[in-house]
Structure 1
Amino acid sequence: MSTEGRGKKSTVKMLALSLFGTKKGIIASCILVAAFVSLGIFMKQENHVKATWIWDLDDLEENQEETVSFLNNKGVNLVYLHIDFENVNTERFESFIKLASKKNIDVYALGGDPNWALTKNQKSLDTFVSIVKDYNQQSAEEEKFQGVHVDIEPYLLPAWKSERENIVTQWISNLQYLKNKVKTDSELAISGDVPFWINQVEIPGENKDMGDWMISSLDSITVMAYRDQTEGENGIKGIASPLVEQAANRSKSVIVAVNVIETDEGNHTTFHDNSLNYMNHELNLLENRFSGHPGYGGVAVHDYQYWKSSQNG
């Protein structure tokens, strides 16, 4: 070591001794710093979202405590709770959200219909937002929805292939309309589900894709990266990465979703036929692969009912 190097080392040592008094004090302080660093890492991990969808509210009627216990045990901190226009039961919302809030679980009002992408159906969007806002106005703080979450999948419409540009234009218009309705006189967050290939959908007349627009315009998006393994080009990480990168470029993050529902789209798109241990292993691997990535915001499991029914699998 050079004389200059020894001098710097000696200066640092003297400064440390002056601050902490003794070598034992320095050791103790180092342990304390290490503990705080570990705590910081732990807190950073805890800040990641773990979400799920609850579509069937009937299951909550008599089992709310059991539901919240399950969610808490699984580390869920965000629930998308479906709003049934035909059977709005505010008492059911109140009791569930209150129980969830005690476990630090946020609840977003969930709504969705492929037809919500069409401007002729904006009245339905109005109804959805009105239900949420009216409910929040009359509810205690611990019983309020923290946001709205929409599942609008216009690519399921028969006209998607033949009238895609027109539908995309209307879809954007409706999402902007919905955002304005949600944000007026409220602090509700707004988020939505998107397929992993959404960045391949171009916006007519603009040098921008729907994925980038969604990331920029909404508070968060949940990417339906429905695969049953993390690794590989066609794995969860591989198909979600483009949107994760886009989110990072916009100083945003996205939630990466997996599926546990039985589907006719192929066994590779769901964990339905796999054990929970296997799914947990893959999700932990996903967390590790995206560790420290600013565009990764956490995971979501679709959906609660199937997840819970497969817990003994």
Structure 2
Amino acid sequence: MKRLLAALLLTCASVGASAEPAAPRAIWTWEEDSYAMLEQPAAASRAIDFLKSKSIDTVFLYADAFGGRNLIKEQPQLYRRLVRRLHASGMKAYALLGSGYLHTERYVLPKHRAEALAMLQRVLDYNKAAAPEERFDGINVDIEPHILAEWSTRKIALLREFVELSDALMAAKRASGQSLPMGPAIPFWLDGLNVEYKGVTKPVSQHVQDLYDYVALMDYRDRALGGDGIVSHAMDELTYADKAGKQVLIGVETLPNAIKKVSFEHLREADMERELGITAKTVGGMKPFGGFVIHHYGQYRKWLGLD
């Protein structure tokens, strides 16, 4: 089904796609960069100017502990200031939850469920106390069970626990009475793994899309077309989202990777813009397509030779 739909859509794609930004864009902004933007107004100004120049309209801003501090809990005024600035610049701000520093991949395990819920609750509490112009517009959850050491021996069990965690997080958001959209970062290959949840067996990606408001698909490839391209790998999620009334953001990578096809790092900015343009022309007519998300702010600048 994926390849058939991709083949049909490819007939609409133009290999000579324009390099102009063709769809909304977001960017993951991790611990160090986010804390710098929060604590240093000059760093925030530099980031805002850069992001505007790249037509990025949504910042996934890290909103948890780092370096022994938790600014959203201890100094929420810093988030209020930065979110106000982002909004004044025409950008949205999503709270980014998940951290290599905190090893949040463990949060899929039932014994760490309370930590995951507390992580989310801090953002919900922040939003409840903030003025409208200071509130997050959404939440992105980046918890990746495949990083765990036991992944090779407990894959299906861990994925089921990931779905259970997703259900619990969305229940907590609903209980808060807040309507801000929440979704996870998920790898494109989850559509090839089935798990049983609440008596229904189907791809993990579909369980996740049923639960969340959107997904940010880690669709890490360096070309748009072909059987191993961005479009093909996103097609199952886009097709299912169309039925479920959900949204899909397509994520791309700029970090170095030993497997070259995973990232645009070995290519030029013009190459990435060409491939994103082709992708947008190919799937842009699909209602669930919500644009792109780039990984990640600090590396994106470095790749472009700015740092």
Question: Is TM (by shorter chain) over 0.5?
Answer: yes
Contact 1:119-1:171 at 8 Å conserved across structures: no
1:102 maps to 88
The equivalent of 1:59 in structure 2 is: 36
The alpha carbon displacement at 1:268 in A equals 1.0
Aligned residue for 2:249, secondary structure, equals strand
Residue aligning to 1:260 = 254
Q: Are the counterparts in 2 of residues 246 and 295 from structure 1 also a CA contact under 8 Å? A: no
Runs of 5+ consecutive residues of structure 1 not aligned to the other structure = 1-45
Separation (CA, whole Å) in 2 of partners of 1:87 and 1:221: 29
1:71 and 2:38 matched: no
Give the aligned partner of residue 153 of structure 1: 144
* Cα deviation code 1:162-192 (max 9, x no counterpart): 2223222222111111111122222222111
Distance 1:48 1:277, change over 3 A: closer
Q: Contact 1:49 / 1:255 at 8 angstroms: preserved in 2? A: no
Residue of structure 1 in register with 2:262 after alignment: 269
CA distance in 1, matches of 2:132, 2:82: 13
The answer as to 2:263 corresponding to 1:281 is no
Q: Residue type matched to 2:274 in 1?
A: H
Residue 48 of structure 1, CA deviation: 4.8
Rg comparison, structure with higher value: 1
In structure 2, the partner of 1:188 is 180
Q: Which residue of 2 aligns with 1:87?
A: 69
2:120 alignment partner in structure 1: 129
- 1:16 is aligned to none
Q: Shift of residue 193 of structure 1?
A: 0.5
> In structure 2, the residue corresponding to 1:80 is in which secondary structure?
strand
Task: Give the corresponding residue for 2:192.
Answer: 200
The CA deviation at 1:149 is: 1.1
- How well do the aligned residues superpose, as a CA RMSD in angstroms? 2.0
Structure 1 position 154, deviation (Å) = 0.5
Does the CA-based 8 Å contact 2:25-2:58 persist in structure 1? Answer: yes
Runs of 4+ in 1 over 3 A off after TM superposition: 46-49
Contact 2:213 2:247 in 1 (8 A): no
Q: How far off its partner does 1:110 sit?
A: 1.0
Quick one: distance in 1 between partners of 2:22 and 2:90? 12
Q: Classify the secondary structure of the residue corresponding to 2:265.
A: coil
Which residue, 2, 5, 24 being the options, matches 1:49? Answer: 24
Q: Distance in 1 between matches of 2:206 and 2:22?
A: 23
The count of aligned residue pairs is: 268
Structure 2 match to 1:18? none
Report the CA distance between 1:295 and its aligned residue.
3.0
Which protein has greater RCO, CA pairs closer than 8 Å, 6+ apart? 2
Amino acid at match of 1:285: I
Shift of 1:291: 2.6
2:231 and 2:279 in contact (8 A); partners too: yes
1:5-24 superposed matches below 5 A:
none
Q: Distance in 2 between matches of 1:77 and 1:189?
A: 16
1:36 corresponds in structure 2 to none
Report the residue type matching 2:85 in the other structure. L
Q: CA deviation at 1:129?
A: 1.8
